[in-house]
């Protein structure tokens, strides 16, 4: 193993002859004798160069065993050659770092994809900073240990980067998504068989009250679907709630105003509103213009909606979906007109503004629950039960994880990591 | 016809939903290329959809002008602004500057749109003050807690406050990092589960009211 390595002086000739002579400097198999080890620089051992797993290609992972001389004073150099037969003399130094850095454990691989033991050295060669690795092309990589003028090379190894079809690092994510999906569908099936209790959500109980008030006053209802487009779950949730609200406004024959920031959302909401009026048996009352587009620009939209609030004085304002800085500009203006205001958002940064200025606020998940709550359909309610089971599971994992992580630190054991990795990086 | 109105969109939703959920786990360039292509499709669709939006805007304000509804003058201003900007934009080839000098289009953007947006954003400061005045009144035990916490956080976030109350910096940081963060995380966990559950419902056709409500 180490007999194959080269031990040379920096700046000296690196011919094959010199290499052969200097290879005599290489130590016999490493015995771990600390006394002799620290005084002599040995070539890095057990060098492995592999295609970086679970990536889109263009990257190689270099692994080599830790050495007794690993310290801040000794350096490792990573050398790259652009052909499979390149020798260390023609290879380019692409990185240099202290010998007590760059370990597998620093890269936070989960245990099921870890390429080697945590204490093994690791460096990832990837595109950028003057390096261009092409998939399927073999490159030569080696590692040199450097101390002062001494330099010890490991035997160069050729490897080719390649793209992967599956990112196994994220398998815990997939597993938990499937598990949660199964729970949701199981809960839906259960809900079809027996009634499930739903806690009261005051904001949703107030929907009827708000629409009734608008009807009594003969004033319109203003409904906003948020700042995002139709690809965002919160906008979809807002559109679904609009369907329920529109059904009631149709029944009460109250005017509905839905200004939009996104034309696609507008088109979808037009269809939803139309269907709601049809279902309420008030197709003749439906106005195509009840859903209208204003602008995609944040503050222009805000100014326009504020204008509508001040001119038309709607009796009820609904703010559903995602919001940014415009949240307070909208709700404070609405509050100044004396309208009843119901908000529902998953934008956690805007929640304080909504809570402050609106009569009722659907906080986070309540926005998604609203559809089930208003429809009372077993299938929809089953989903809520599924979410609750999911939350209970996450809470248990947080509690258990805290205990296990603490135990791991207290007793200095590695086994807690096995469990913790399963629930880490679930993005 | 009913197939194209109901089943086809559900099928498209199912297939694309599953494909792009799977795409998240595939790092291969082919998968990235697929995502990039679809993103471009969405941008193109969005461009065409904008025509739909502008048509809606024109129609709405044309009705207002025709009926002489209250505030119909604003609709005229909108028409003038919209058509004027389009004309000027075409005249300047969509460029904001030419040879270092601003074009008329650039002038409209820099000296009309930006100040107006700035004004709207600046109003936020006054609205925050009025909203704070309403909510930071100790009318109940909870409101009192909110008031005390708000004062500490506000003191801790400005140099003068921290100078007057040296402990406020650390305490406000603790309020934000411990109390506030834990509640935010709880909300975010709920939001994430809600979003995932809704996505499942949409992908598998359990939730279909976005197609225009109603049951078959």
Give B141-175 pLDDT, tens digit per residue: 888 888 889 889 989 988 998 899 889 999 999 99
Percentage of chain A exceeding pLDDT 90: 61
B47 contacts chain A (CB < 8 A): no
C-alpha angle with apex B215: B212 to B216, nearest 5 degrees?
105
State the smallest CA–CA distance between residue A378 and chain B in angstroms: 11
Residue of chain B with shortest Cα separation from A261: B53
Chain A residues close to B28, C-beta within 8 Å: 56-57, 163-165
Give A201-238 pLDDT, tens digit per residue: 888 889 989 999 999 999 999 999 999 998 899 999 99
Alpha helices, DSSP H only, in A284-377?
298-312, 326-336, 351-357, 365-375
Mean pLDDT score, B118-144: 84
Closest residue by Cα to residue A374 from A206, A145, A155, A223? A206
pLDDT exceeds 70 at position B117: yes
Q: Strand ranges (DSSP E) for A66-215?
A: 75-81, 92-98, 121-126, 139-147, 150-153, 157-159
Closest residue by Cα to residue A212 from A245, A240, A239, A259? A245
Mean pLDDT score, A164-172: 92
User: Does residue A113 contact residue A54 with C-beta atoms inside 8 Å?
Assistant: yes
CB contact under 8 A, B210 and A311: no
Any idea which residue has 């037969």 for tokens?
A: A85
- The number of C-beta contacts closer than 8 angstroms across A and B is 199
Give A330-366 pLDDT, tens digit per residue: 999 999 999 999 999 999 999 989 998 999 999 988 9
Classify residue A45 by its DSSP letter. Answer: P
Taking the alpha carbons of A365, A368, A374, A378 in that order, is the dihedral positive or negative? negative
A325 confidence band (pLDDT: 50, 70, 90): very high
* Cα B67 to Cα B61: distance, rounded to the nearest angstrom: 10
State the smallest CA–CA distance between residue B189 and chain A in angstroms: 8
Token reading at A84: 């499979």
Global confidence as pTM: 0.82
CB contact under 8 A, B190 and A163: no
In chain A, % helix, strand, coil (3-state, to 5) comes to 45, 20, 35
B4 contacts chain A (CB < 8 A): no
**For B198, which of A233, A302, A391 is closest by C-beta distance?**
A233
B207 contacts chain A (CB < 8 A): yes
Give A128-139 pLDDT, tens digit per residue: 888 889 999 999
pLDDT confidence of residue A196: 81
* Cα A377 to Cα A240: distance, rounded to the nearest angstrom: 13
User: CB under 8 Å to A6, separation ≥6 — which residues?
Assistant: A14, A19, A22, A23, A26, A43, A88, A152, A153
- Residue A233: how many CB atoms within 10 A of its CB? 22
C-alpha angle with apex B4: B1 to B6, nearest 5 degrees?
105
φ/ψ (deg, to 5) at B19: -60, -45
A26 confidence band (pLDDT: 50, 70, 90): very low
* Cα A341 to Cα A348: distance, rounded to the nearest angstrom: 18
Chain B residues close to A364, C-beta within 8 Å: 187-188, 190-191, 194
* Cα A121 to Cα A141: distance, rounded to the nearest angstrom: 14
Residue of chain A with shortest Cα separation from B27: A56
Mean pLDDT of chain B: 89
Any idea which residue has 């209250």 for tokens?
A: B70
State the smallest CA–CA distance between residue B172 and chain A in angstroms: 17
**For A263, which of B52, B194, B197 is closest by C-beta distance?**
B52
Give A252-270 pLDDT, tens digit per residue: 999 999 999 999 999 999 9
Q: Report the range of poorest mean pLDDT among A55-59, A173-177, A220-224, A374-378.
A: A374-378
pLDDT confidence of residue A19: 38
CB contact under 8 A, B117 and A165: no
Token reading at A295: 């602008």
Q: Is A299 exposed, middle or buried (0-12, 13-18, 19+ CB in 10 A)?
A: buried
CB contact under 8 A, A348 and B26: no
State the smallest CA–CA distance between residue A262 and chain B in angstroms: 8
pLDDT exceeds 60 at position A27: no
């Amino acid at each position: 193993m180490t007999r194959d390595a080269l031990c040379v002086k920096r700046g000296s000739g690196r011919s094959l002859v010199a290499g052969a002579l200097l290879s005599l400097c290489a130590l016999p198999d490493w015995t771990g004798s600390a006394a002799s080890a620290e005084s002599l620089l040995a070539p890095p051992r057990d060098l492995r160069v592999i295609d970086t797993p679970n990536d889109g290609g263009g990257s190689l992972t270099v692994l080599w065993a830790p050495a007794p001389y690993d310290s801040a004073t000794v350096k490792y150099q990573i050398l790259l050659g652009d052909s499979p037969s390149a020798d260390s003399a023609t290879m380019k130094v692409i990185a240099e770092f202290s010998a007590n850095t760059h370990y597998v454990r620093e890269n936070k691989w989960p245990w099921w994809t870890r390429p080697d033991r945590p204490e093994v050295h690791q460096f990832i060669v990837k595109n950028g900073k003057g390096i261009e690795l092409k998939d399927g092309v073999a490159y030569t990589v080696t590692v040199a240990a450097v101390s002062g003028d001494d330099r010890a090379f490991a035997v160069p190894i050729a490897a080719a980067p390649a793209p992967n079809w599956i990112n196994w690092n994220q398998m815990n994510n997939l597993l938990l998504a499937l598990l949660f999906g199964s729970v949701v569908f199981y809960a839906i099936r259960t809900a079809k068989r027996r009634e499930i209790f739903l806690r009261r959500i005051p904001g949703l109980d107030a929907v009827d009250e708000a629409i009734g008030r608008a009807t009594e006053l003969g004033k319109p209802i203003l409904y906003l679907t948020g700042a995002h487009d139709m690809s965002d779950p919160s906008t979809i949730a807002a559109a679904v709630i609009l369907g329920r609200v529109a059904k009631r406004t149709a029944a009460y024959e109250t005017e509905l105003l839905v200004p939009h920031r996104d034309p696609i959302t507008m088109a979808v909401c037009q269809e939803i509103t139309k269907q709601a009026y049809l279902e309420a048996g008030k197709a003749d009352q439906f106005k195509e213009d009840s859903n209208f587009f204003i602008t995609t620009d944040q503050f222009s939209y805000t100014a326009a909606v504020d204008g509508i609030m001040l001119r038309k004085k709607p009796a009820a304002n609904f703010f559903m979906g995602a919001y940014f800085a415009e949240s307070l500009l909208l709700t404070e203006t609405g509050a100044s007109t004396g309208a009843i205001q119901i908000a529902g958002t998953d934008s956690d940064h805007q929640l304080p503004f909504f809570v402050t200025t609106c009569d009722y606020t659907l906080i986070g998940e309540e926005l998604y629950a609203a559809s089930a709550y208003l429809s009372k359909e077993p299938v929809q309610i089953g989903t809520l039960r599924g979410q609750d089971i999911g939350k209970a599971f996450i809470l248990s994992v947080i509690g258990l994880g805290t205990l296990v992580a603490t135990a791991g630190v207290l007793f200095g054991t590695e086994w807690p990591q096995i469990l913790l990795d399963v629930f880490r990086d679930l993005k | 016809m009913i197939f194209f109105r109901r089943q086809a969109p559900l099928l498209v939703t199912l297939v694309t939903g599953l494909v792009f959920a799977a795409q998240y786990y595939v790092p291969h360039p082919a998968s990235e290329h697929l995502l990039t292509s679809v993103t471009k499709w969405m941008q193109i669709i969005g461009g065409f959809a904008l025509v739909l939006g502008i048509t809606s805007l024109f129609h709405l304000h044309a009705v207002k002008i025709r009926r002489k509804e209250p505030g119909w003058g604003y609709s005229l201003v909108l028409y003038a602004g919209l058509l004027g900007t389009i004309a000027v934009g075409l005249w300047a080839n969509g460029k904001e500057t030419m040879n270092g000098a601003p074009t008329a289009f650039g002038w409209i953007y820099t000296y009309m749109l930006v100040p107006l947006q700035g004004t709207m954003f600046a109003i936020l400061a006054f609205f925050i003050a009025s909203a704070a005045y309403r909510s930071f009144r100790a009318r109940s035990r909870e409101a009192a807690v909110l008031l005390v916490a708000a004062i500490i956080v506000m003191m801790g976030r400005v140099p003068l406050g921290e100078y007057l109350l040296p402990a406020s910096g650390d305490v406000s940081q603790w309020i934000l990092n411990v109390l506030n963060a834990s509640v935010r995380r709880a909300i975010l966990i709920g939001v994430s589960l809600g979003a995932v559950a809704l996505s499942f419902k949409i992908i598998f056709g359990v939730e279909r009211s976005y197609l225009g409500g109603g049951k078959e």
